[in-house]
A and B are shown apart, each in its own frame.
Chain A
Amino acid sequence: MTATPMMRARPAQRARSGWWRSPRRREDLLFAVLFLLPSLLLFGTFVYYALGFNVYLSFTSWNFIAPVKTWVGFDNYARLLTNARFWKVFTNTFYFALGTVTLSMLGGLVLALLLNRKVRGRAVFRTLIFSPYVTTTAAVALLWVWIFDPNYGLINWLLSWVGIAGPRWLTSTEWAMPAIILMSAWRTMGYSMVIFLAGLTAIPRDLYEAASIDGAGGWAALRYITIPLLSPTTFFLMVTSLIGALQEFDSVAVMTAGGPVDATKVFNYFIFEQAFVVFRAGYAAAVATSLFLVILVLTIVQLRLSRRWVHYQ
């Protein structure tokens, strides 16, 4: 289950100089251009040009209507870095992302370990636990607004069983974020489980047999075989889930609209609000560029570290 080196071309396939002289190769080139053209045009416009446009916008002040975009240099970035609200959004985003990813991965790992055996109804369990992941987040978020209703909701009813008077969840500055994290963990746990399961099935059975002959118990096998050999999966899942969670929008938009008092305002909601509610295109673009840099750093860390301290077999 080692990662496939996607970017490495086979040496025999590498093109040499004077390559285009053969008619066969000219035909190859013709089809390559034809086949790639639609994708290249689309990516060129909606990814690369848009990215450059976004960076340009981030150095301007503009309200979407004024005839000219005023060049302001690094003003937007300076404002953003000294703005307490931006740092609140920054902290919120990581609070949400780390909370969701931790819960989702822990739950997913336990479920995967339970499912990684011949157990009755295995397929049914797997399907059921995975199902929230494919449902529409915006619609499901609506359901969770009702679940978190402080007086008549499901959660506070369950808590009343154990004698706890539940908080006011989505209208509480303290509990709104944990509520959204709980919902997101519920939604993504099945995904973590499926990825872990794929990693688990790749661990050779004979390792466990050898360990059991050596007298290792279940916990020792988990500690010294499963967890280390699962590390590429764990690492991959952690970084990709984190990158995904840093971009959350739907659940926050529907459940709290970033409130109460910015308590759940995450990056993406902040960008949306700055651009399409208060019409500060330049500032929104600067926030978006910052988010991009954060994600870029994470991606580079993943590419670098996954080669080093992750235990591939």
Chain B
Amino acid sequence: MRAEQAADVFSLNDSSSLRRGRAIEEWSAFILLTLASAVVALPFLWMISTSLKPDVRAVYVFPPQWIPSPVTWENYLIAWRAAPFERYLVNSVFVATTVTLLQVLNGCLAAYVFARIVFPGRDLLFLLFLAVLMIPGQVTVVPIYIMMSQLGWLNSYWALIVPFAATAFGTFLLRQSFLSVPAELADAAIIDGANHPQILRHVMLPLSKPMLITFGLLSFNWRWNDYFWVLIMTSSDTMRTLPVGIVAMRAGEDGGSKWHILMAATVIVIFPILTLFVIAQRYFVEGIARTGLKG
């Protein structure tokens, strides 16, 4: 992309300067990216470093010591016992998993209709689904809180799961994927006498696996990280999930100024979701990129 490069097109034998130009460009990009990654990673390193410090005196030191001495793994045990983390973890896993399964199910069913079945009023219904994306959750939180209280569902799994069982976003994502399945495949199945549930199960789903995984992961991630909704809908420790639990812990006696314990707890909360991301990062990143491209 330099002048040499342009010249290079005309004098094909002189390609060494072009190659050198490219190499310099690549190396400077590499160095800058290393720096940027270090800046992004620094807070995480700081978190891990603090979480391994022996006591409060080692935490409040200026300038900070990055390598704790001695490295204190017990902090993780202390943090785990400082609050009912087993319960938080079980709640987080249960709520996020259930919501994900329901969203995938309802998303697939609705997406199939919008991709494959023609009937009067379909476009209007689709518009109703589309509009759901524009309504922020905070606009409905006060009414839903009142509804939940009337149903006696406050501080229960119902309040954390039922309002999230349907998904407009998932419907669009899966519809795009179903639309890319060649129509001839489904038509052939119809000629063979297959009905809609069979086409969905045996034609659409097997061919949409990557999108199903991507949407499942995104859906799980959002529910797992949710703080706002759980904070409002629950009032007791037995119903709290990890994010609400750890923030509540800070207000308790073992939080506050004990940053080594609090950081150990933070690692415990972040670790599962970060591991899931690293394992499945291809689906995460491609899913995000793809949703971004649908305008």
Interface residues of A, Cβ cutoff 8 Å to B: 1, 3-4, 6-7, 9, 13-15, 19, 25, 27-29, 31-32, 35-36, 38-40, 42-43, 45-51, 53-54, 57, 64, 111, 114-115, 117-121, 124-132, 134-140, 142-144, 146-147, 149, 151-152, 154, 157, 160, 186, 189-191, 194-195, 197-199, 202, 208, 211-218, 221, 232-233, 236-237, 240, 243, 247, 249-250, 253-254, 267-268, 271-272, 275-276, 281, 284-285, 288-289, 291-292, 295-296, 299, 306
In the bound complex, residues from chain B placing their C-beta under 8 Å from that of A127 are: 278, 281, 285
CA distance A147 to B37 in the complex (A): 18
Main secondary structure of the interface of A (DSSP, over half): helix
In B217-244, which residues have CB < 8 Å from any A CB? 221, 224-225, 227-228, 231-232, 242-244
User: What are 30 residue pairs bridging A and B, where the CB atoms are less than 8 Å apart in the complex?
Assistant: A4-B294, A9-B118, A9-B123, A27-B195, A28-B119, A31-B197, A42-B165, A43-B166, A47-B132, A111-B36, A117-B29, A118-B26, A125-B33, A130-B281, A135-B273, A139-B266, A140-B266, A143-B47, A143-B263, A144-B43, A149-B259, A189-B40, A199-B293, A202-B293, A211-B1, A213-B9, A217-B2, A247-B136, A253-B227, A295-B134
Known contacts A152-B60, A197-B289; A212 and B1 CB within 8 A of each other: yes
CA distance A40 to B294 in the complex (A): 24
**In this complex, which of B119, B120, B295 has the most chain A Cβ atoms within 10 angstroms of its Cβ?**
B295
Main secondary structure of the interface of B (DSSP, over half): helix
In the bound complex, residues from chain B placing their C-beta under 8 Å from that of A152 are: 59-62, 64
Do B64 and A157 touch across chains, with their CB atoms under 8 A apart? Answer: yes
From the candidates A114, A137, A160, A292, name the one contacting B136 in the complex (CB within 8 A): A292
Interface residues of B, Cβ cutoff 8 Å to A: 1-3, 5-6, 9, 25-26, 29-30, 32-34, 36-37, 40-43, 46-47, 50, 59-64, 106, 109-110, 112-113, 117-120, 122-123, 125-130, 132, 134-147, 162-163, 165-168, 171-172, 175-176, 195-197, 221, 224-225, 227-228, 231-232, 242-244, 246-247, 250, 259, 262-263, 266, 269-270, 273-274, 277-278, 281, 284-285, 288-290, 292-295
